Structure 1
């Protein structure tokens, strides 16, 4: 009995000693070991900020989704459940098995990302060991392809990849939180221990874009491209007093909700990344330099454009008609290449270069949009005489549609240039680049283009509103010169002309069916979109009760603001060769 009691006493003493060792002496070691097996730090997903248009309409929203992930070792221990898993997530069982075997040393691998919560719950309800769900968010774009080039898109991890999603990624993304949880051997969370880091949801962003005007521009540009069988097109609309971008449309486009099926060419924001030779739309900038020089006024001195051909240094500069003597306003109205070239030849090269530069040519607009092109403008001191003449009617330099629209908005705002902005009410840099009185004269000169005999009449007319604008038709540059059959048709304008509120540029690339002139292809798009935009923005009419056939008429007669069927149409002349 003594022996038995002694043995039991020693055993009890040993158990007490062992318990003391485990629970006191080496408590922290075993606690850490236990935590390593059952305590996990898991992320707390945060919603990306919503993008709104200027009127509060959502353009990009985040919706909750679930991603299915697996612990490969645990799943492979229950290999017989893999076919059931594969059916639930819509995959091949053999592919899943091979995928898990290749990653068997890991504890976490994704099997299916961004499933709908209901579909993910169906998978989890199968109770397959090693299969778990993780809450995430997925981006959705209600306007689809209409706003695709402005917004861009996010990747599978909800980070911006293009467009404003990329430009404002830090603002929109927020910061995921983190918490410690206890999981059982099946990987299920059984207890939340503590919050390690509080989640910071993404901030919302209100754009300057007006979704209504964006839809108008998209529909009209799409219709024109289909009718003319053009390769591509762009339209930019700016708010003149602020420089805010109200609409920016490009075609072809893509669906940002299904990016995988699109091509890189469809995802390019051509209004920001592509450059064009502006053709005759640049002539008002030449006139700005001419008026600033003090040598010219809108009415004189007269410029002799002759019989429509002007041979300068063996180069034939041509007009569509023999216009003879033209005032500077007449040069704009008839879009005379000869007149623009002769005026430019009388100007100081430094003044002309500085004017082009001041209007933003050759520089980024500082809009903050990713991938924005700066265009090209040769340094003035390197201009040769013939290059100077050619630049007067829009060849030998490259601009983006946004740069051109911003130049016209500057004219419309009394010579005050604003940095274009995609954010509503954002502070932007502004600077006076030409005198207000010169800007007013330029608007009046541009208004003559849409009046009888002008290159944009009658297709740029808007009922009850005066329009100031300029057409442009340019041969496209090719290897070794300029194409004889491929054109860029453009129109740039301001409305209402008496107090400009909107500036817009329409560029249609290579129209192949019907006309290729800017006044016939692009001007109608401008008129239709601006007609709707002015009414949506409640801009008061400034041209009530007038329409033109050889001159303004007062009165209604049921034809106020309508388009006379027999009004003359004249457009600017594209030249076959624009460089020496």
Structure 2
């Protein structure tokens, strides 16, 4: 081969080798660039995807544990509280094209929106979730959806509703915006309700409505500042109705005043007046200090130091036990209390759960105002006998009085059907029989005549107590009128305690302001509970009862 041909061949081989090297390097570069491109593209896509998904993810996390809240029913299955599915509106500020334009359009659909507050929230593009309006009506949701505003979306939430408005509002309570119970059944059974469990109460919606109506009518007529009443089934302590006025609509709890929120049956304490004479006579019978044939000295006021115990309407004579009770003599009952020891009185009140807060299935009552050991002497023992010196909640009082007017057993009150009944024997059957004689005489012949219901034997006791001011002085122009009623007396189906605070006008005592409320309620309750009339003949000594009740002779 010629030298020139050899050089050409060598050069050609060298060029091919160089080209192969360059080609290999180019392939490496291309592959590297492709990898970088894929990585960048993936990051961009992922970022865009996450940006689009972020609001929904936040909402999903926010409601991840949401379970439809359980409903609340009365004793017969009437719906008192339930949760409905509603639409709530939220926004992702970063996805909105024009926040001001969006607000302008939304304001037409939802006039109550706070524009300034909303502008401030939506102008922050770093925020990805802002509530606009929760619990929209179907009409509002339709209007907003029709606007087609970018960055807005709906989320279905549970909305708590109370179909009967103010009915049993204090018992039911309400929930806050986070879905947690604040007071009442909603609070104390919050965990069960959040887990979807239904709660069945002892409250009878019809009796609740009837009691509220009777109480509200009297409240208006007497121009009283407030009123309350509790109806109890004495056999198992079931609260059939519980009313505190003024009340509120549980659907609009945030618009109620502090006075409307207050449940006076459990959070306020009162000196109950002469209905507390029940305790003294029952203890006197139980300790054999008195009997139905006893004669008590009510001829003149009792003077102890600078204090005088007198009667509002003095008889100024010796009175039988029956007459002393039915005419509500402070002097006579003080004579009975004077024969009791302080320890006997204190122990009896303690057994009736009147000296400390009462724990029940919806919480704990307010603490009573009771005498100290140092002050619990002879005079205090007497004033306690007719209702001064001990202030308790109405729930405590109705449970204590129920035990004496029913069968001698103290039964802890309850609002929820599944709560177990707790019973403790307090007084003997003989004492209960004697007390029923006193209760009957009070309604048939004494201060409780306005509680009578034709065809039924009603028992009860009136009370009128001057109101203790913050200054520590009693206001002689303002009083609490009370009445405790048992119906039918021989075997009570319901026991009702009524209180009217500061009734105005001439008829402001327990017999004229509180007893008529019981009568109006009882007349309707007998029909609601299908309790047939009874015919009774009561005599001063013992009882001769001809009974025609519920078809039994």
TM-score range for the pair, normalised by the shorter chain length: 0.7 to 0.9
Q: In 1, distance between residues paired with 2:187 and 2:94? A: 38
Structure 1 counterpart of 2:392: 399
Q: Which residue of 1 aligns with 2:520?
A: 528
CA deviation map 1:256-306 (0-9, x unaligned): 112232101111001111111111000110112111212221222x11110
- 1:288-345: CA deviations, max 9, x gaps? 2111212221222x111104x2323232211112241122222211111000111101
Structure 1 residues 206-215 or 134-143, which shifts more? 134-143
Match of 1:274 among 268, 272, 283: 268
Between the aligned partners of 1:166 and 1:78, the Cα distance in structure 2 is: 39
State the match for 2:8 in structure 1.
Answer: none
| Matched residue, 2:12 | none
1:252-331 aligned at under 5 Å gives the runs 252-300=246-294, 302-307=295-300, 309-319=301-311, 320-331=313-324
Structure 2 counterpart SS, 1:405: helix
* Alignment counterpart, residue 60 of structure 1, candidates 81, 88, 91: 81
| SS of alignment partner, residue 451 of structure 1 | helix
Relative to structure 2, which stretch is displaced further, 76-85 or 129-138? 76-85
* Higher helix content, 1 or 2: 2
1:48 counterpart = 2:69? yes
Q: Which moved more, 1:7-16 or 1:142-151?
A: 7-16
Q: Residue 522 of structure 1: SS of its match in structure 2? A: helix
Choose which of 412, 433, 436 in structure 2 pairs with 1:440: 433
Change (3 A) 1:64 1:303: same
What is the alpha-carbon distance in structure 2 between the residues aligned to residue 394 and residue 382 of structure 1? 16
* In 2, Cα distance between equivalents of 1:350 and 1:517: 32
- Secondary structure of 2:453's counterpart equals coil
Alignment of 1:447-462 (within 5 A): 447-452=440-445, 454-457=446-449, 459-462=450-453
Residue deviations 1:450-501, cap 9 Å, x none? Answer: 122x1111x1101211111100011111214211100110001211111122
Tell which deviates more after alignment, 353-362 or 36-45.
Answer: 36-45
More moved, 374-383 vs 494-503: 374-383
C-alpha deviations, 1:52-80, integer Å up to 9, x for none? 11111111121211111111222265654
The answer to whether the 8 Å contact 2:236/2:411 transfers is yes
CA distance in 2, matches of 1:285, 1:440: 14
Rate the CA distance shift 1:399–1:480 in 2: closer, same or farther, 3 A.
closer
| Count, aligned residues | 516
**Equivalent residue runs for 1:76-475 within 5 Å:** 79-90=100-111, 91=113, 93=115, 95-101=117-123, 103-174=124-195, 202-300=196-294, 302-307=295-300, 309-319=301-311, 320-370=313-363, 372-380=365-373, 382-452=375-445, 454-457=446-449, 459-475=450-466
Q: How many Å separate the matches in 2 of 1:34 and 1:9?
A: 32
Residues 375 and 400 in structure 1, CA contact (< 8 A), matched pair in contact too: yes
Residues 342 and 377, structure 2, Cα contact 8 Å, conserved in 1: no
Q: Secondary structure at the match of 2:359?
A: coil
Structure 1 CA distance for aligned equivalents of residues 492 and 545 of structure 2: 23
Tell me which of 63, 66, 71 is aligned to 2:92. Answer: 71
Residue 85 to residue 20, structure 1, CA distance change in 2 (3 Å): closer
Name the structure 2 match of 1:519.
511
Corresponding residue of 1:572: none
Q: Is 1:227–1:513's contact at 8 Å kept on the other side of the alignment? A: no
Shift of 1:14: 3.0
Structure 1 alignment gaps of length 5 or more: 175-201, 556-580
| Whole-angstrom CA distance in 2 between matches of 1:149 and 1:486 | 26
For the 8 Å contact 2:483–2:499, the answer to whether it is kept is yes
Q: Is the 8 A contact 2:93 2:99 kept in 1?
A: no
**Which sits farther off after the overlay, 427-436 or 73-82?**
73-82
SS at match of 2:360: coil
Q: Greater Rg, structure 1 or structure 2?
A: 2
1:158 to partner: Cα distance:
2.3
Match of 1:560 in 2: none
Measure the CA separation in 2 of the matches of 1:251 and 1:503.
Answer: 19
Aligned mate of 1:490, from 473, 476, 482: 482
- Whether the 8 Å CA contact 1:406–1:420 is kept in 2: the answer is yes
Question: What is the alpha-carbon distance in structure 2 between the residues aligned to residue 392 and residue 92 of structure 1?
Answer: 59
Deviation at 1:433, TM superposition (A): 1.7
- Comparing 287-296 and 225-234, the one that deviates more: 287-296
Secondary structure of 1:238 counterpart: strand
CA contact (8 A) 1:448 1:468 kept: yes
The SS at the match of 2:370 is coil
Are 1:476 and 1:486, in contact at CA under 8 Å, matched by a contact in 2?
A: yes
